[in-house]
Amino acid sequence: MTENVTVKTLARELNVSIATVSKALNDSHEISIETKQKVLALAKKLKYERNPSASNLRSQKTKTIAVIVPEIANSFFSLAINGIEEIARKRDYHVLIYQTHENSEIETAFTESLVCGRVDGILISISSSTNSSSHFKSLVKKIPVVFFDRALDDIDAIKVTTDDYQSAYQATLHLIENGCKNIAYLSALSKLDTGKKRIQGYFDALKNKGLSFNKGLMVTHDPDRDKTYNRIKNLLIIQKPDAIISSVEEMVIPAYNACKALDLRIPDDVKILSFSNLSTAALLNPSLTTITQPAFEIGQEAAGFLFKLLDKKYITTEEIPVMKSVLIKRDSTSGHT
């Protein structure tokens, strides 16, 4: 192992001080153009690489942001991360990714391991099992944080979300217009803003169209996949709904499977639609009607705001957009031919 090349090496070689080298590398105005060129040239020649730890320690900046999401293996989040990453790359920032697997203790542990200067800022979409906001309240005081998609209403912070109420309302309306009268709802994220608004949109659409709702029509998500599947199956057997709205992508696959198992035809016996960013939605059997969120753009927006915070720019509430989801109608909710 040859000796590491540091600013000291460059300084020695060029007969200047390490301060000069450091300033030259940071393109300081205090250094003449000729000296800068000399330094840069030698740095390139000796393949000098700035030591990030030392730099971070001194400057108290890490050029790194953290992204905390429930799960990467989820089309919405992987697309959102793509959006975040695009913005981060433009600013030469590194991206640290953490998955909570919907576990709020892991979530807390992650955030706590981050506040002490490992990252400059955090982008987070909170876990479905999180029900207390106190931890996040103290977090946002310590470090720039932007929430995306999943947030809690009593936290005063920047949140980039979608029009969950509107899109759930619209989706329910779509089913009603196609003749459904007994619409079930697969519920998740009910502790979060996101989930609450989606349910409310569903409720209000039912009410405004004079449809009744009974508790049995609501099935909640369980971390245990089999449980979720069985709940959906029971729903289909007992309530015999003519439509199902899935509030999350993870519940629509078991819904399809349950229909298959019970020999129920989609959309003839039961129509199904789901909040989803599945790339294969159009190719499913039958093709799935989705409420698709602009995942990539949400990532971009959220990252954009985080960088504004890092730049100490003031952000007004009005400039934070509510992103628009789109209802893509496909065969799984089509009316009778």
Q: How many chain residues bind a copy of itself (CB under 8 A)?
A: 42
Residue from 236, 277, 279, 280 nearest 254 by CA: 236
Residue of 28, 52, 177, 207 interacting with a copy of itself (CB under 8 A): 52
Asked if residue 56 binds a copy of itself (CB under 8 A), the reply is yes
Stretch that binds DNA, among 56-64, 94-102, 301-309, 314-322 (CB under 7 A): 56-64
Between residue 15 and residue 34, which ones bind DNA under the rule CB under 7 A? Answer: 15-20, 22-23, 25-26, 30-32, 34
* 81 DSSP assignment: H
Residue 280 contact, options a copy of itself, DNA, none, Cβ 5-8 Å cut-off depending on partner type: a copy of itself
329-to-104, 186, 203, 266, 290 alpha-carbon distances in Å: 35, 19, 21, 14, 7
Residue of 9, 25, 94, 239 interacting with a copy of itself (CB under 8 A): 94
Q: What are phi and psi of 115, to 5 degrees?
A: -65, -25
Asked if residue 62 binds DNA (CB under 7 A), the reply is no
Q: 129 and 164 in contact (C-beta within 8 Å)? A: no
Asked if residue 9 binds a copy of itself (CB under 8 A), the reply is no
> CB burial class (10 A; 0-12, 13-18, 19+) of residue 139?
buried
Q: At a CB cut-off of 8 Å and minimum separation 6, what does 264 contact?
A: 236, 258, 270
Chain CA centroid to CA 302, Å: 9
Asked if residue 35 binds DNA (CB under 7 A), the reply is yes
Query: For the chain, what's the residue count?
Result: 337
Residue of 57, 109, 261, 282 interacting with DNA (CB under 7 A): 57
Residue of 8, 12, 50, 207 interacting with a copy of itself (CB under 8 A): 50
Q: CB of residue 10 vs DNA: minimum separation in angstroms? A: 8
Residue from 109, 104, 121, 279 nearest 189 by CA: 104
Asked if residue 22 binds a copy of itself (CB under 8 A), the reply is no
Between residue 187 and residue 216, which ones bind a copy of itself under the rule CB under 8 A? Answer: none
Residue 97 contact, options DNA, a copy of itself, none, Cβ 5-8 Å cut-off depending on partner type: a copy of itself
> CB burial class (10 A; 0-12, 13-18, 19+) of residue 148?
buried
Q: Which residues bind a copy of itself (CB under 8 A)?
A: 49-54, 56-57, 62, 64, 72-75, 78-79, 81-82, 85, 94-99, 112-113, 115-118, 253, 256-257, 278-280, 283-287
